[in-house]
Amino acid sequence: MNQHIDPGTLRADDGIERGGMLLHVDNISLSFGGVKAITDVSFDVKKGEIRAIIGPNGAGKTSMLNVINGFYHPQEGTITFRGEKRRRMRPHRAASQGIARTFQNIALFKGMTTLDNIMTGRMTLMKSSMLSQAMWWGPAHREEIAHRETVEKIIDFLEIEHIRKTPVGRLPYGLQKRVELGRALAADPALLLLDEPMAGMNLEEKEDMSRFVLDVNQQFGTTIALIEHDMGVVMDLSDRVVVLDYGRKIGDGTPDEVRNNQAVIDAYLGVSHE
Ligand SMILES: Nc1ncnc2c1ncn2[C@@H]1O[C@H](COP(=O)(O)OP(=O)(O)OP(=O)(O)O)[C@@H](O)[C@H]1O
């Protein structure tokens, strides 16, 4: 059984009510040379919800996550996060503002243990200087103990105590994905971006991961935006779904609304756009 984590150990309340607007994506367009990855896309993410971004291959989903976390800078449009309209910024700023993400291809330190990988997720929250951290001195010592406690709670929550000392490169794929979720969670995100969290998983691993994503959302109250190809998972997990096709938004609504949207059905059946 999952241990309940006291949200008080996590990020301070940002004043946005559950259901209030956490993120606005407004009229975003992004090109790479002549390739238009995203064209005039707008949507929002409400605090506390699970928001899926779906669409066929090459629809612009990963590009959109990269715009949200500051990795790509769109030519047009604006991102407003927690009421603040963003100017150009780097991903580490997004992390310190409370946006964390996982990647399509796992991006963990393979030679490091589960515990150390998850600990790296707390780096952006560490206040003591690099020097005092390196010397394990005074405030740095106390700070590390506090961070370590939170990391241990995350390890309990994700039921990975048995692999806490195992180098992640030795773990099966499904567990590596879970460690990556743990590392993102350790950053104490206000918005958690998951890029295909179930990709490459077998049915049992998918069920486990779905349960953890739901538990993170419900027990931590973390807002989640996820890309996922498995429609069963998307329809089960999400509160609302935005659908992209060839870089444009073609649908937006509850899973039922999206399922019955003719443009979405056509896109998935490969109906011509000419
Ligand atoms: N760094 C880049 N340089 C050039 N083109 C890019 C770059 N990133 C994405 N693209 C192009 O932008 C378009 C959208 O790609 P993106 O990876 O965002 O789609 P996706 O919906 O995530 O696809 P998939 O489901 O296959 O991962 C594609 O045509 C892709 O080739």
pLDDT at 241: 97
CA of 71 to the centre of ligand 1 (A): 13
Nearest CA to ligand 1 atom 4: 32
CA of 103 to the centre of ligand 1 (A): 14
Question: Which residues in the chain show pLDDT less than 70?
Answer: 1-14, 91, 124-143, 270-274
- Residues 6+ away with beta carbon under 8 Å from 117: 108, 109, 168, 179, 182, 183
Which of 57, 62, 227, 248 has most ligand 1 atoms within 8 Å of its beta carbon, as the pocket-test mutant?
Answer: 62
Whose CA is closest to 123, among 143, 152, 109?
A: 143
The class (CATH top level) of 7-108+189-269 is alpha beta
Nearest CA to ligand 1 atom 25: 57
CA of 98 to the centre of ligand 1 (A): 25
Distance, in Å, from the CA atom of 124 to the CA atom of 134, rounded to the nearest integer, reads 16
The pTM of this model reads: 0.86
User: Does ipTM exceed 0.85?
Assistant: yes
Q: Where are the domains of the chain?
A: 7-108+189-269
pLDDT at 9: 46
pLDDT at 184: 93
pLDDT in tens, 181-221: 999 999 889 999 999 999 888 999 999 999 999 999 999 89
Quickly tell me which residue has 């940002």 as its tokens: 14
pLDDT in tens, 45-77: 999 999 999 999 999 999 999 999 999 999 999
